[in-house]
Amino acid sequence: MSHNRIGNSGGRKIAKYLLSTQVLTHLDLSDNLINYEGSRYLAQALKVNKILKHLSLKLNRLVDKAGSKLCIDLLNNSSNLESLSLSSNSLGHMFCESLAEFLKLNRSIKILDISCNFIDDSNAATLKASLEGNPNIIELDVRNNQLSDETEEEINEIITKNFLASKNIPFKKLGEYAENKGGNA
């Protein structure tokens, strides 16, 4: 369904379909001119549809308010989404605050792509805290935002720890491996 320029009216029709189906697990609505209105229809449909696991809304027209409301709706709906892509929209501070709240409480989401937006260091602390409190997030793309290299590294370290923990592998920094080798000699 990607790259079809369906807009909000198409988003509404897809939302209606989601209300009536219990088979669709992946939905890619990338680059479809969906904005706040269309994202609201989809979020409302996810109140009922607990089968959809993977949703992509990248390359749409979601502004900060739309992304924020989508996160709030997904949280209130007890969404079962495992992966969500909101890459290449116009999401920033308000979205990041709502996303942090969503990530604190949602335990089904594992993969999140918020690359190519307007997220900056001013709300990175909130985002990092929510990631540390949710070990289920094992993949997160934050590239091409307005984050410092240090913040990106800190976020990547949190996600690496989560991923390794999901595989029962202890996390150690490179320096810790060298120290252990030196101590065992």
- pLDDT tens, residue by residue, 47-83: 888 899 999 999 999 999 999 999 999 998 888 999 9
The domain limits of the chain are: 7-184
151-160 contact pairs (CB < 8 A, 24+): 151/121, 151/124, 154/124, 154/128, 155/124, 155/127, 155/128, 155/131, 158/128, 158/131, 158/132, 159/131
Q: Are 97 and 123 spatial neighbours (Cβ–Cβ below 8 Å)? A: yes
Domain spanning 7-184 has what CATH number?
A: 3.80.10.10
Alpha-helical segments (H) within 49-148: 64-76, 93-105, 124-132
Handedness of CA 42, 57, 53, 102 (dihedral sign): negative
Average pLDDT of span 157-185: 79
Over the stretch 69-127, which tens digit does the pLDDT of each residue have?
A: 999 999 988 889 999 999 999 999 999 999 999 999 999 999 999 999 999 999 888 99
pLDDT of residue 176: 62
pLDDT band at 185 (very low <50, low <70, confident <90, very high): very low
